[in-house]
Amino acid sequence: MILRLGGEVPEPVTLIRTLSGWGLGLRAAHETAGRLSRGEIVPLGLTGAPARDDQMRILNGPGIGASFPEASAGPGGNTP
């Protein structure tokens, strides 16, 4: 998952609780909120997260842009 936001995180406590509930440590979730507020793009791998559509719906609620990169193509543009 890729998270992005330009500016202040609108609901930082909600975001931190959500990410830590999905398997990201509390410190890492807090650091993620800080990075987002600085305008950084933050890639995450969450082991306990719900389905992608649910992740996007939940995270877009507090104003975070969540997306998932497509599987990258191998050499020559073919997927393995």
- Per-residue pLDDT, 19: 93
Query: Is residue 78's pLDDT more than 50?
Result: no
Percent of the chain at pLDDT exceeding 70: 82
pLDDT at position 71 is 56
pTM reported for the whole predicted model? 0.78
Confidence of residue 8 (pLDDT cuts 50, 70, 90): confident
Rounded CA-CA distance 3/43 in Å is: 6
